Amino acid sequence: MIESVIPIRKKYVPKGIEILYEDKDIIIIIKGADLLSVKNKVEKEKNAQQLLTNYIRKGNRSATNEIFAVHRLDRETTGIMIFAKSLAIREKFADQWSEVEKKYITLVHGQLKEKSGTIQSYLAESKDFKMHSVSDPKKGKLAITKYNVVKESIKFSLLEIDLLTGKKNQIRVHMSEQGNCIVGDSKYGKKKSAKLALHAFSIKFKHPFNKKEMVFTAETPAHITSVITDAQNLMS
């Protein structure tokens, strides 16, 4: 694990967030479930961006520091996120984003016919705010998801995902349209019976300032491992 340059003040770390690393340019966190990445019209306070902003301002009432999300995770998705401490740093990330390696672990219903492959489609948003694939490239945005079956049982498959693009709900849509919706996904799959089993477990990138290669990983959370354990001892 890469040691944080700025000491992590554990007593001030907000609930729902684990801070892995911080320096003068970036903060790397693990986002918990049921937490927005950034504010929306309804929720402006309880989101990872605002909670981290409050964290870096602790102990300095006059501080005006702001942080900016480099990318986002769905509210229900857990895992690693990068935040920039300035717009300039965020823009540097944007310039190199195609080179950033983002890996996820997910548990889906059923077995996949092809045990590894790449799903590619153009995604568009419907009036009910759900994403779906469209045949006309002009009406959607290119989304590419690479997957590999790690283990499987009769009812479930554990997948490792390489997210080659980062469109809204991309993994969830692609798996659902394959006929293998993610466990706990009530939006694109079956009636919700558990938390969403989707976790961003690894990210690799070059630091936008010093160009040093950095890799961060996050253990699979309990709400996913417990489902795996219950799923006919899938991990054994």
Q: With beta carbons less than 8 A apart as the criterion, state whether 64 and 53 touch.
A: no
Q: In whole angstroms, how large is the CA radius of gyration of the chain? A: 18
Q: Annotated catalytic, 74? A: yes
The residues with which 205 forms a beta bridge, in sequence order, are 214
State the greatest distance between any 2 C-alpha atoms of the chain, in Å, as a whole number: 58
Catalytic residue among 23, 25, 34, 74: 74
Q: In sequence order, which residues have a C-beta less than 8 Å from that of residue 129 and are 6 or more positions away?
A: none
Q: Which residues lie across from 116 on neighbouring strands? A: 148
CB contact at 8 A, 179 and 110? yes
**Cβ–Cβ < 8 Å for 163, 173:** no
Which amino acid, one-letter code, is at 226? S
Please give the positions annotated as active site: 74
